[in-house]
Chain A
């Protein structure tokens, strides 16, 4: 008979029940043969024990003995990983297998079955083949071919099979193999066989049906439509849709301080802080500065302006018989040929995009020094 290396892991509190421990040890010895060595350790000491570092692939069996309450508590992930490590390939972890730890066990590398968790051999992926055993500790298992059990059906129903075997499996209510579960839908559908392309193609074809009516006016009228106002009602946490029904819009905060540290210089439409009034005052101030600038320059151009006015007056009279009057602010020709009219920075001529904040020419169009500018105030 083969000799097994067995590690008996004890929950710290189980030491208060020495009888239990002996009972289990005897059972293990009976099952796995007298030559098998049973090592014993307390589970938390085991996890912290540095010696564990040396013990990869050592044990065939790890048995975790714990009181009933421990079944409801998770085994720490670190412990699980350690157990995987110390087990030989195909080695089994059994005893207290908390349901809550099942996912962690899978993540740690176990193949999980109801009565034991198996460390896979490196080649085997996914399904562990049923091991043929004459006996197993505790439950009576029936030798059977692998069976996939549908989650949605609680009973295994196969009218063709032997009634006796049906009875036996019902008795155990255990699936002998891992259950494949599709995360996003409750029913089990094994789609691995379907070719991806054909699947989405036929999917698309079936959906096209919904689009074929859009040329038909009558069809359109008969269509039953949703109440669109229902789309506006906020769902208090709808869990049905993976992406979440309550899609929140992006928040774009309004900062009074800009990223470059300057204070926001733009008034909101509903400005209540007085910035709007200040902006308006600035504009008035700028206009009066412009008036001064233009006034000074226009004085020298007045003669020119008078000539232009008369010219236009004559034209108007001939075409309309109506005299239209222009005052100086309506048609202004500015002669910038006068020397020294640029400011200190030299950018005055360039247009507002390049002028300084306090430039008196702000608001006036760009000009080439020497160029005559017309500002047309139209409409009469």
Chain B
């Protein structure tokens, strides 16, 4: 029987996908043949033929499976599937999650349970990794992989005549890249970047890109209006997002080309053979090495352990090789964190420090992660031609001299009215946006969390003019970053917004949004307990969502006679399960 493993991923932002490929490489060293693809791309019939299945899946939305896992899941949930369907199959799962969400790792939990139900045999422990943990997803992954490999070796030991391929030996590249130097050079411009292999992409134009926050405020928040170029109507609802496809700064690309000695081959037509990793939005139709790097490779992200694991072979200097290898090992985790994560060092900066590192072109797709789209909640009321975004530009300082910038917001910041771009609309299925929902809405929106809530408010004012809308905002200064402040005040004045509670953390008495929530506990308790109100919380993940949750359980406890802490937590959990407490944090 062939010695093979199938690794399927359910990935929203590409993390699960990256881990799937990482695991595949490890398994290949143990002489397993591997198949890696998304859950939806896998021909499910083959489940009957295979022996070992690993599923790596993140949780998105309100405990849902990622987009590229949904038709797989729909199949798996069929009632009539027999309970011995997968009794021949050994499996385990790895979940990617975020503990600031109540629906922590729900997707992986559900998948694992269902596979057990269908008779599959667990070959190793599952894992529920946590973005918020000190070592993040990686920490969990390394431990899980270690246990899995040990179990695989036990259950499926290497045959007598084969040995494990040691780390010192380079595995053959998964793809080969051909540069057609006999053809004419192509200089790719922005127009070419709009032409990609995914024909569901929408081509649009920037109508305006204006700074909303005052010039003396440290944070630059933009109001961006994009109109669709095609005649096709846009369809979206409150809560839906736009996927933007950023590109690298051309100067960074040139720096990389120079450092690797690729400048003279960078502009010839390029073709790629072998199994391509899935690229969101599709590849440019006109590919050159330069355009591949510019539009599809994330050369400024922070290098992960897998980067070092793949790159160390290609450094000719002994000392540099050793250092790169060190970073790739589990023992080097702390050093890697100090070197790369803490200062937010980019892959490009790393490459520039290791002078002898020369990457063969064939290994480009394995060394550099694929550039992923970034999602932004739409802040406009749905209409058929435009989408409005409210975006905080990411810029901050670390120990590194050069200022840190988010690749997408850096790209976005430079866009001007008239510039063209491609994007997707991603549905999020937010139920409370529906006209049928006409209970009071409690909306909590610190910072740019205001974006989807603005869309919701403007929609509801039109479809359900009589419902009560309670808005809690949180910003830093009334005069500097009170996003859409004038709009809220005028809606309040017109009676369309029932109540507005705003907090400004750096002026006057200060305070955060949860403090105002607590102050209004009587009102909130009445709305929730007696009026069936729904809570919608949007903003950044981490401390804030937890603080808000604790505030609500405290309110339940204090405002209701026979409710203790345990009961209060239960009440909140029930609300979540009923879709009456919705959290969207990023």
Q: Which residues on A are within 8 Å of B, measured CB to CB?
A: 200, 204, 207-208, 210-211, 214, 220, 223-226, 228-229, 231-232, 241, 243, 245, 247-250, 252, 254, 258-260, 262, 264-270, 279, 282-283, 286-287, 290, 350-354, 362-366, 368, 375-379
Contacts and interface: CB of A to CB of B under 8 A. Distances in A.
B401 A364 contact: yes
A377 B353 CA distance: 18
A231 B106 CA distance: 9
Contacts of B113: 231-232, 245, 247
A379 B79 CA distance: 57
Contacts of B88: 200
B433 interface: no
B57 to A, nearest CB: 13
Q: Which 5 A-B pairs have the closest CB atoms?
A: A351-B353, A225-B77, A231-B113, A250-B125, A211-B45
* Contact-size category for B: 35 or more
Given A231-B114, A243-B116, A352-B339, A224 B48 contact: no
B128 A249 contact: yes
Interface string B111-128: 011101100011001111
Contacts of A207: 48, 82, 85
Given A249-B127, A353-B354, A366-B352, 15 more contacts: A200-B88, A207-B85, A211-B45, A211-B47, A232-B109, A243-B116, A252-B139, A254-B134, A264-B334, A286-B399, A351-B352, A351-B353, A353-B350, A363-B399, A368-B355
Query: Which of A265, A266, A286, A287 counts the most chain B CB atoms within 10 A?
Result: A266
B134 A231 contact: no
25 contacts: A210-B80, A210-B82, A211-B48, A223-B74, A224-B79, A225-B78, A228-B73, A228-B110, A231-B113, A241-B116, A243-B116, A243-B122, A247-B126, A252-B133, A252-B144, A254-B135, A260-B331, A265-B334, A269-B132, A270-B546, A353-B354, A363-B400, A363-B401, A365-B353, A379-B410
A226 B118 CA distance: 13
Nearest to A279: B342
Interface of B: 44-45, 47-49, 71, 73-75, 77-82, 85, 88, 95, 106, 109-110, 112-114, 116-117, 121-122, 125-128, 132-135, 139-140, 143-144, 147, 249, 251, 319, 323, 327, 331, 334, 337-339, 341-343, 345, 349-350, 352-355, 397-403, 410, 413-414, 542-543, 546, 577
A366 B353 contact: yes
A193 to B, nearest CB: 21
Contacts of A252: 127, 133, 135, 139-140, 143-144
Nearest to B113: A231
B399 A366 contact: no
B582 to A, nearest CB: 16
A363 B343 contact: yes
A138 to B, nearest CB: 46
Nearest to B95: A249
B323 A211 contact: no
A247 B78 contact: no
A248 B397 CA distance: 41
Contacts of A262: 334
Contact of A378 (B251, B342, B352): B251
Given A245-B116, A363-B343, A366-B352, A250 B542 contact: no
Contact of B110 (A204, A211, A232): A232
A369 to B, nearest CB: 13
A252 B94 CA distance: 13
Query: Which of A226, A282, A353, A362 counts the most chain B CB atoms within 10 A?
Result: A353
A266 B134 contact: yes
B143 A250 contact: yes
A270 B132 contact: yes
Nearest to A211: B45
B162 to A, nearest CB: 25
Contact of B112 (A247, A260, A362): A247
A377 B109 contact: no
Contact of B403 (A200, A259, A377): A377
B109 A225 contact: no
A304 B79 CA distance: 76
Contact of B353 (A210, A265, A352): A352
A224 B80 contact: yes
Query: Which of A200, A204, A350 counts the most chain B CB atoms within 10 A?
Result: A350
Query: Which of B75, B88, B345, B352 counts the most chain A CB atoms within 10 A?
Result: B75
Nearest to A242: B121
A214 B75 contact: yes
Nearest to B323: A353
Given A226-B79, A286-B399, A379-B413, A248 B334 contact: no
Nearest to B81: A210
A199 B64 CA distance: 38
Contacts of A269: 132, 134, 542-543
Query: Which of A267, A354, A379 counts the most chain B CB atoms within 10 A?
Result: A379
Query: Which of A243, A264, A269 counts the most chain B CB atoms within 10 A?
Result: A269
Given A225-B78, A266-B337, A269-B542, A354 B251 contact: no
B87 to A, nearest CB: 9
Nearest to A285: B399
B399 A362 contact: yes
A248 B353 contact: no
Contacts of B48: 204, 207-208, 211
A208 B45 contact: yes
A362 B79 CA distance: 60
B323 A266 contact: no
Given A229-B577, A266-B342, A214 B44 contact: yes
Nearest to B85: A207
Nearest to B105: A249
B109 A375 contact: no
A283 B109 CA distance: 40
Given A258-B334, A379-B413, A264 B134 contact: yes
A372 B561 CA distance: 73
Contacts of B577: 229
Contacts of B249: 378
Contacts of B116: 241, 243, 245, 247
A211 B48 CA distance: 10
Contacts of A279: 342
A354 B323 contact: yes
A247 B122 contact: yes
Nearest to A361: B401
B401 A290 contact: yes
B420 to A, nearest CB: 21
B353 A283 contact: no
A232 B106 contact: yes
Nearest to B349: A365
Contacts of A267: 134
Contacts of B251: 376, 378
Query: Which of B113, B133, B144, B402 counts the most chain A CB atoms within 10 A?
Result: B113
A204 B85 CA distance: 9
Contacts of B337: 266
A178 to B, nearest CB: 28
A290 B350 CA distance: 19
B463 to A, nearest CB: 28
Nearest to A366: B353
A226 B319 CA distance: 57
A241 B132 CA distance: 34
A283 B399 contact: yes
A379 to B, nearest CB: 7
Nearest to B124: A250
A351 B354 contact: yes
Contacts of A214: 44, 71, 75
A266 B334 contact: yes
A229 B578 CA distance: 11
A350 B542 contact: no
Contact of A375 (B74, B127, B331, B401): B401
Query: Which of B45, B85, B139, B337 counts the most chain A CB atoms within 10 A?
Result: B45
Contact of B140 (A204, A250, A282): A250
Contacts of B110: 228, 231-232
